[in-house]
Amino acid sequence: DELVSQIAAGEVVERPASVVRELVDNALDAGATQVTVRLLAGGVRLISVEDDGIGIARDELAMALKRHATSKIASLSDLESVGTMGFRGEALAAIGSVSELTLLSRTAAQASAFALHGLSGELRPAARAVGTTVEVKELFFSTPARRKFLKTDATELAHCIEAVRRHALARPDAGFAIWHDGKLVEQWRIASRDQRLADVLGAELLEQSVAVDYSAGAIRVTGRAGIPDSARSRADQQFAYVNGRYVRDKVITHAARSAYEDVLHGQRQPVYALYVEIDPARVDVNVHPTKIEVRFRDGREVHQAVRHAVEYALAAPRA
Ligand code: ADP
Ligand code: MG
């Protein structure tokens, strides 16, 4: 099972940022309103993600580290809406198979916290408020071939920050902080969605953007589309979400790019955060273990909705 987990880890855990993505995902799933990420050496020495969510009960700590252990498919109807178990319950097991992982958690019902050391299985009482801290040390220590592929600490840190940015844009109702080598490098407080967009993408970007709000049938597209003065904007300033989850999707990217071409004739680099809400039955999120890719039942319908949404938004102030 250890080997199976290590193979799964190859798909889920590519670099420290993959660990950050999964741990922050879990924190938000647990209802956290504050998520603190602490990194040492670009996350290679240490990734610690601390939350104030519901916690994991003492007797469930060991279970959380097992493959396909998930607390998130509670009922048959849940199962149906997910479509398949897909890749649920793999992240912690996969991360634990390629690092030294410690789970530290306390639920509201417990008088103290408990820490479970993944490698030794040692369980001991510990101190912390209600919530969970997952500590991941020495990523890829047992798989030096993978460790060799890691870039400089600065590059790995940048990827980690990007992973948190993606979550932060989806969840303005939670606060985020990122520490690196003892220094606070990013902090986003709970805010409205527009304020969060300004905090994460930059206030000047938000000033030069227009609101997107469009509905077509069962699809709604909201967010902001930027129209900065020049084409100098960065390629990594395009964010797309489907039902609250960050995705990289060709249909959405292409649709948005087409709208920018149509209205601004390619004079501007697309900069946007688009939130697509769609009936969950019309989208399959279990096509990739990281859930970063989705498959729409009707890609054309989504393409049209996104294209129109961005076109109307961009065209409005010029009319
Ligand atoms: P999944 O998120 O797909 O369920 P994971 O391997 O990421 O699988 O996590 C396994 C289980 O561990 C979760 O279903 C959840 O019950 C528990 N868990 C993990 N992280 C947290 C957290 N930060 N707070 C509360 N529970 C957590
Ligand atoms: Mg998870």
CA of 70 to the centre of ligand 2 (A): 8
**In one letter, which amino acid is 3?**
L
CA of 26 to the centre of ligand 1 (A): 5
Gyration radius of the chain over CA positions: 20
CA of 234 to the centre of ligand 2 (A): 30
Low-confidence ranges of the chain (pLDDT < 50): 75-77, 79-86, 319
What local confidence, expressed as pLDDT, does residue 82 receive?
A: 44
In tens, the pLDDT along 6-56 reads 776 777 789 999 999 999 999 999 999 999 999 999 999 999 999 999 999
Report the C-alpha gap between 211 and 232 in whole angstroms.
21
Query: Which residues on neighbouring strands pair with residue 120, listed in sequence order?
Result: none
What local confidence, expressed as pLDDT, does residue 319 receive?
A: 42
CATH number for region 2-188: 3.30.565.10
φ, ψ dihedrals at 66, nearest 5°: -85, 150
Report the C-alpha gap between 208 and 165 in whole angstroms.
20
What local confidence, expressed as pLDDT, does residue 233 receive?
A: 59
Locate the domains of the chain by residue range.
2-188, 193-318
What local confidence, expressed as pLDDT, does residue 83 receive?
A: 36
Ligand nearest to the backbone CA of 53: 1
Q: 236 exposed, middle or buried (CB, 10 Å; 0-12, 13-18, 19+)? A: exposed
How far is residue 248 CA from its own chain's centroid?
12
The pTM is what?
0.91
Q: Could you name the CATH architecture of 193-318?
A: 2-Layer Sandwich (3.30)
What local confidence, expressed as pLDDT, does residue 86 receive?
A: 45
Concatenate the DSSP letters of all residues of 220-280 into one string.
EEEEEEE--SSS---TT-EEEEETTEEE--HHHHHHHHHHHHHHHTT-S--EEEEEEE--G
CB 227 within 8 A of CB 256: no
What local confidence, expressed as pLDDT, does residue 204 receive?
A: 83
* Pocket, ligand 1, Cβ cutoff 6 A: 22, 26-27, 30, 51, 53-56, 64, 69-72, 88-93, 132
CA of 213 to the centre of ligand 1 (A): 33
Q: Whose CA is nearest to atom 20 of ligand 1?
A: 26
Ligand nearest to the backbone CA of 68: 1
Q: Whose CA is nearest to atom 13 of ligand 1?
A: 70
**In one letter, which amino acid is 121?**
G
CA of 314 to the centre of ligand 2 (A): 36
Torsion of CA 116, 41, 246, 68, to 10 degrees: -30
Ligand 1, from 92, 97, 110, 134: best to mutate by most atoms within 8 Å of Cβ? 92
